[in-house]
Structure formats: structure tokens, C-alpha cells
Amino acid sequence: MKFDAIIVGAGQAGPPLAGRLSEAGMSVALVERKLVGGTCVNTGCMPTKAMVASAYAAHLAHRAADYGVTLAGHVGIDMKAVKARKDKVSNDARGNLETWIGGMANCTLYRGHARFESAHDIRVCDELLSADRIFLNVGGRASVPDLPGVGDIDYLTNSSMMDLDQLPRHLVIAGGSYISLEFAQMFRRFGSEVTVIEKGTRLIAREDEDVSAAIKDILENEGVRVELDAADISFERRGSDVAVGFRAGEAPVVGSHVLLALGRKPNTDDLDLEKAGVRTDKRGYIEVDDQLRSSVPHIWAMGDCNGRGAFTHTSYNDFEIVAANLLDNDPRRVSDRIQAYALYIDPPLGRAGMTEADVRRSGRRALVGQRPMTRVGRAIEKGETQGFMKILVDAESNEILGCSVLGPGGDEAIHSVLDLMYAKAPVKTLQRAVHIHPNVAELLPTIAGELKPMA
């Protein structure tokens, strides 16, 4: 079968690109070996945030008396109902996506595992597909390191966690980064005992130390046990439980369930990329240029498999970059993108641009402004005063270099700063903005007027 384009993977970049190419009159083969929607729709953003919402409801119910609300009886958790709600959110989104793809005039959806046979040919089951342009959007999966005893236990990953409909008695999480912390707080709020084991000296090491420390405090205040400097992680069966060692000479943590959250790896190891001449780096990520072309000029890589971003929004932006260059005569580039993301614990962390550590490495002179949520009226009114806001500014150009908002609505408030960063507006633009009261974001202009040299 000859097509104008083959897209492998129906995650966040594949279907919208299929739509654009189809609208442009091209014939498109879209290949998906598992579930349309990729990680985000099926095992990532949508289902986990649906569960975060259930956990938040449970948390508020337990705190009802703090707001003068009286609840009769015990606050219980029905994990089967939590899972059913989560499944509906995912299933509805996937169904809508399948309907959209099915309505594309020039697009054929193939179900199966794609493997290259040459630079232009891909086999899917018994079908041989050929195209002048090929786009890879194959995503990634949980990495399972070869730790002592890991092969002897039943463990969970971020994907298999989605299948739980019973509450773990004690969930032990190996790894102290973004995915693990969302699950840690979520299941603690559902009622599980939770222990997080992290080999590093602090949680989410890519963040500044004050952010890491504040997040550790938030989790520990809710009863999550955090063990850092875990240099000797190992696993051992103990009946129906698992003993997780973390430091030599100390007693292991014995849990009913173990979640491995120790990083991600790209789904590039079973595509036969070598038959197409597509190069990957030592971690398996497809090497791409600033416009997402691989080492083979007619093959592009988008999303988690290219190592240039690990988020739904960066994957979708990859689609936008490819479509702009191919169809709109608009030379958009990956290097135009400002790093931005959120951590969906409660309160959430919104992050944009550089950290203090990034700024120091760059050698720039910078200014910093900061305010704790205990001095933000909206946070006080909501009874949610954990966290803080911080803005980093170039001392010479007055451009905003980065921002962290850890607090109520931090994942939303960050965008008022992010948009200014894209506009390359001076910090005075933020300082003179009149934000709505009462709101968490209304303090961002105040912080912008209280900058001091970064130590």
C-alpha cells in the first residue's frame, strides 16, 4: 500500500498531524499497536488526574471540620468506584479521538506493531506500507532497572497502577520524582500507608532545593514517609508482601505493593530502526534536529521518543512544529520552546523557564523575588497555605528567566508569567499589570516589584 505519509503512533502528536495532512489532500496511514491516545489518554495525564481529583475530594472530606462543615459518619473510599470514574474519563477521551480519526477523509488507521523493512517501507502484521514521508510518535514506557531481587517480585508501574481496584495496605514507591510523588500523595489520601524511597539526596532533583524541601514537607505533613540517600535499593519476597531495602544496615520497608517509578525509556527498541538508517542516542532516543527531522531526512520523530520533551504539551508542540514547516511555510523550531510543566500534587507546582541552579550555571547576574503562600490572601481564605512563589529575572535585560508557583492553582497561575516570557517582555510589564483580587496570581506583580540580587 502506497501512502503520501505514514504516522507510527496515535499519541498526542500523531492524530493531529494526520488531520492536517489529510486536510491537505495527502493519503495517510496512521498505525497504532495498542490504544489510541497514547500515554496521556490511557495511562498518564487523564486517568491519573482523574484519580488526583478523587483523592482531593477525600482530603477535603477529611478536612471538612476545618471549614465548619459537619459530616456524619466515616469518610470511606470505594476504589472500584474511583477506578470506574477514572476509566470513564479515559474511555470517553479515547472514543472521541477514534471517532475523529475515523472521520478523516484520507486517513486509514492500522492496528498492529510497525517495523521498518527499509527507509520507506513499514510492515504492520501482513500489510506492507510505503511512503515518501514517515513520522514516528511511538512514546515511551516505564524503565525497570536491574536492581537486586526485582525479577523475583510482582511490581507495579505507572501503567499497571491504573488497573488497581483495591486499596494497597502499604504502597512502597521506588523513585522520588514527578510520577511517584503524585501517586504517593494520592494513595495516602485514599488511606494507604505510603513510603517513598529515593536514591538521591532530595526529591525531584531537577528542581531548586527550596522547591524540593517544600514538597517533601507537604508530603510528610500528610503522613507520607520519605527515605532519601537510598543507595542500596533491593527487593525480597516475604510471603504476600515485599521487603524493600534502601540503606545498608537498616531494616527494610515491608509493603503490600511496590511501584517502580525510576524513569522512562523510549519505545524505539523494537521498530527495526537500523533498517531505515535512523540513529538513536545511547539511551535509545531518536536523534532529531531543531525541526524534528531524524538522521534520515524524510523521517521525523515527535513526542517522548525524541528526548526533546516528556510531556503531552511538548508532544503536541512537536506536531505544530512539523506541520508549520511542512504545510505553512513557517520555520518553527524546538529551540523556540520555553521549558514549562507542572507537578500535580496538592498544592500543585507550576514551573516555567530556568531554575536558580540553571541561572548560576549560565553565569548570568539575576534578581529574585519570592513570597510564601502564608502571605497570599487567596491561599489563606482557602485554608491552603503550603508552598511559595518565586520569580527569576535577568539583572541586565530585565527579562523573566524563570518562575515557580507551588501553591493553590500554581499549575494555572504560572501561565501569566510564561506568556510574558514568550513575548520577551521586561519584568516591569508584569509589575504594572493589574490582576484580579482575590487570586493567587495577583501577587505575581507584587513579587516583580520586590526583586533582590540572587545570592
Compute the distance between CA of residue 323 and CA of residue 331 in angstroms, rounded to an integer.
10
Q: Give the model's pLDDT for residue 26.
A: 98
162 with 46: CB under 8 angstroms? no
Cell of 273: 530502526
**Parent domain of 204:** 150-262
List of residues 6+ apart from 155 with CB closer than 8 A: 144, 235, 242, 258, 259, 260
Query: Is 242 found in the same domain as 290?
Result: no
Query: Is 8 found in the same domain as 137?
Result: yes
CATH number at residue 436: 3.30.390.30
**Above 90 in pLDDT, residue 446?**
yes
10 with 38: CB under 8 angstroms? yes
CATH number at residue 183: 3.50.50.60
Query: DSSP string of 53-81?
Result: HHHHHHHHHHTGGGGT----S-----HHH
Compute the distance between CA of residue 139 and CA of residue 39 in angstroms, rounded to an integer.
7
Query: Is 121 found in the same domain as 19?
Result: yes
For residues 55-76, average pLDDT: 95
Q: Is the peptide bond before 15 cis (omega within 30 degrees of 0)?
A: no
Query: Is 231 found in the same domain as 91?
Result: no
Query: Is 215 found in the same domain as 106?
Result: no
Q: Give the model's pLDDT for residue 73.
A: 87
Query: Is 164 found in the same domain as 256?
Result: yes
Query: Is 189 found in the same domain as 42?
Result: no
Domain count, the chain: 3
For residues 344-368, average pLDDT: 97
Query: Is 91 found in the same domain as 65?
Result: yes
**Above 90 in pLDDT, residue 188?**
yes
For residues 401-414, average pLDDT: 98
Query: Is 155 found in the same domain as 131?
Result: no
3-state percent helix, strand, coil for the chain, nearest multiple of 5: 35, 25, 40
For residues 344-351, average pLDDT: 98
Q: Give the model's pLDDT for residue 455.
A: 86
- Taken in order 229, 231, 232, 234, the sign of the CA dihedral is positive
159 with 261: CB under 8 angstroms? no
Domain end position, chosen among 315, 336, 357: 336
**Above 90 in pLDDT, residue 23?**
yes
389 with 351: CB under 8 angstroms? no
pLDDT in tens, 130-158: 999 999 999 999 999 999 999 999 999 99
Domain end position, chosen among 297, 318, 336: 336
For residues 171-179, average pLDDT: 97
Strands 28-32 and 340-343 come out as unpaired
Q: Which residues is 116 bridged to in the sheet? A: 122
Q: Give the model's pLDDT for residue 257.
A: 98
Q: Give the model's pLDDT for residue 72.
A: 87
**Above 90 in pLDDT, residue 45?**
yes
Per-residue confidence band for 217, with pLDDT thresholds at 50, 70 and 90: very high
Domain end position, chosen among 240, 262, 284: 262
Query: Is 116 found in the same domain as 8?
Result: yes
Mapped onto helix, strand or coil, the DSSP state of residue 120 is coil
Query: Is 8 found in the same domain as 136?
Result: yes
Average pLDDT, the chain: 97
Query: Is 432 found in the same domain as 322?
Result: no
For residues 68-72, average pLDDT: 93
What DSSP state is assigned to residue 285?
P
Q: Give the model's pLDDT for residue 395.
A: 97
308 with 288: CB under 8 angstroms? yes
- The residues annotated with a catalytic role in the active site are 437
